[in-house]
Amino acid sequence: MRLSIRWRLALWNTFALACVLSLLGGLVFWLFRQTHERIDRALQERAEHALLNLDQSLLQQFQQLKNDPQVQTDMPKRLAHWIYEFKEHDSFFCVVYDQTGRAILKTEEMPSQSAPEPPREDLTAPQYQEVSIPVLGRQRVLQGRLHAGSENYAIVLLASLAEIDRVRLEVQNERAEVDREFRAVASFVAASIPVAILFVGGVGYLLARKALAPVDRLNRLAEGINAKRLDRRLPVLHPDDELGRLTTTINAMIARLERSFAEIRRFTGDASHELRTPLTAIRAEAEIALAKPMTPAEHNHLLGSILEECDRLTRLTDQLLNLSREDSNGFTQVRDLLDLSALVKQVTETMTPLMESKGLHLECACRLALPIRGDESRLRQVFINLLDNAIKYTPRDGRITVESCRDGNNALVRIRDNGIGIASEHQERVFERFYRVDKARGRAEGGAGLGLSIARSIIQSHGGAITLSSEQGAGTTVVVQLALNELSPALGSAGRS
């Protein structure tokens, strides 16, 4: 089952927030991790620095002893002096071993059981150790060798690690505190993200529900609009927001539907009226023929009237069928390359006998080739309808002019007459179906008010336009505009001939 829009909005917002919070939590975790590592390195360096200072102090004292020239001349006395100095100034204990590994000198305050093991004989460079010594405890030991005359002595300096151990303990405690804070922050972030997601998800659903409440209201109002209530409109509370624009669009669509339904009802009524007229005439003629005995001549006259009404009914049915096909795109889209000027000229020649029978004068100026793509038979029907209208409403000795020309990328065909013309209030409606300026005369002459409507549908299906301008008592001009196509050599030569 597909979720509703409010649920989808809430879930998408929750998902987006979850992604943002996850990224933010990861960033916070990474920043704390980096900070933790920097603090850890700083604390480690602090402990290492304290040990390094102690080692340098031990090495410096040993080097001073080793570089003392008096050690070579007055060995026992000078060593005793240095042992005293080590204890007095730096609190270092010192033990001196001879070549046999026997302790010959040591700091007086140093207990005898605290003397460390003598260095190995292969010791060449000063060496550091951390050892635990009875009584003295943990000590930092520097072992080195001293050459005095022919004797080789081992010097052992001892410095207490109590201060270093204190620093190390402080570092360890501080690192543990940083670890606890880091774990607390990580736990808080990990616990707060799900809570925030659930909270925002609930709030997002409520906000989505509130934001979509006008849609539900529009839905309920729209359900009350049907084919019998197309005069209703939806209220537009906020015309500048998305719902306001949607409501305006729906109202415009309803207005178009209302006009379409009105046109359908009018079209149905007009079509019924137009079909009823010839059917009524046929029924009346048949009833007359059956009502009383008649001579063969009278029967022939009635049959002729019936056939005339049948012919009018056939033409009306064909026109309605053409309109239905135009509306439903029922015609096959034929797009052959043809010369519009030649087509109009052929239609004019076909209509010439009808013009001459009414005493009309024709002027045809269709010499320039106008290549277009289109359906020749349907375009021929357009110009037949237009010329037929011009012939009908132009009095004897009138003039009809047909001309074709180029206008940029378009081909234009003008059909102008000096007939009775059309009043301005009717010009906008002459292309409507079943609309006639003079209904009585139109029906008497066989017209049903569909010719111009069919012509407009055909031209619009070709991507063109048809316009009309008229002045009552001065005549009418109809202009057909179609897009030009590439001129082929064969068509070009045909147009010039």
pLDDT band at 333 (very low <50, low <70, confident <90, very high): low
Domain 1-211 has CATH 3.20.20.450: no
* Rounded Cα–Cα distance for residues 355 and 386 (Å): 13
pLDDT band at 493 (very low <50, low <70, confident <90, very high): very low
Position 385 pLDDT exceeds 70: yes
| Sign for the pseudo-dihedral over CA of 427, 429, 430, 436 | negative
* Rounded Cα–Cα distance for residues 197 and 203 (Å): 10
Mean of per-residue pLDDT scores for the chain: 80
pLDDT at 479: 93
- Fold classification of 336-496 (topology level): Heat Shock Protein 90 (3.30.565)
Tell me whether strands 371-374 and 137-148 are parallel, antiparallel or unpaired.
Answer: unpaired
Position 155 pLDDT exceeds 50: yes
Least confident of 225-234, 252-261, 362-371, 484-493: 484-493
Position 300 pLDDT exceeds 90: no
* Topology agreement, domain 1-211 and domain 242-327: no
Position 494 pLDDT exceeds 60: no
Q: What percent of the chain has pLDDT over 70?
A: 86
pLDDT at 412: 92
Position 446 pLDDT exceeds 60: no
Position 233 pLDDT exceeds 50: yes
| Burial of 323 per CB tally in 10 Å (0-12, 13-18, 19+) | middle
pLDDT at 326: 59
In order, the DSSP letters of 340-355 are: HHHHHHHHHHHHHHHH
- The structure tokens 């010192």 sit at 94
The answer to whether the CB of 417 falls within 8 A of the CB of 471 is no
Nearest to 112 by CA among 103, 100, 123: 103
Tell me whether strands 361-365 and 399-407 are parallel, antiparallel or unpaired.
Answer: parallel
* Rounded Cα–Cα distance for residues 153 and 285 (Å): 156
Mean pLDDT confidence for 69-81: 81
Contacts of 142 (CB under 8 A, 6+ apart): 55, 58, 59, 62, 126, 127, 128, 156, 157, 158, 159
| Burial of 62 per CB tally in 10 Å (0-12, 13-18, 19+) | buried
Position 332 pLDDT exceeds 60: no
* Rounded Cα–Cα distance for residues 6 and 333 (Å): 46
Q: 381-384, long-range: CB within 8 Å, 24+ apart, which pairs?
A: 381/322, 381/454, 381/455, 381/458, 382/454, 382/455, 382/458, 382/459, 382/466, 382/480, 383/343, 383/344, 383/347, 383/348, 383/413, 383/415, 383/480, 384/347, 384/350, 384/351
What element of type H or E holds 36? Answer: helix 5-66
Provide the β-strand partners of residue 475: 471
pLDDT band at 490 (very low <50, low <70, confident <90, very high): very low
Amino acid at 466: I
pLDDT band at 413 (very low <50, low <70, confident <90, very high): very high
Which sequence spans correspond to the domains of the chain?
1-211, 242-327, 336-496
CATH code of the domain made up of 242-327: 1.10.287.130
pLDDT at 343: 92
- The structure tokens 């009502």 sit at 291
Least confident of 94-108, 162-176, 410-424: 162-176
Position 281 pLDDT exceeds 70: yes
Position 495 pLDDT exceeds 50: no
* Rounded Cα–Cα distance for residues 274 and 316 (Å): 8
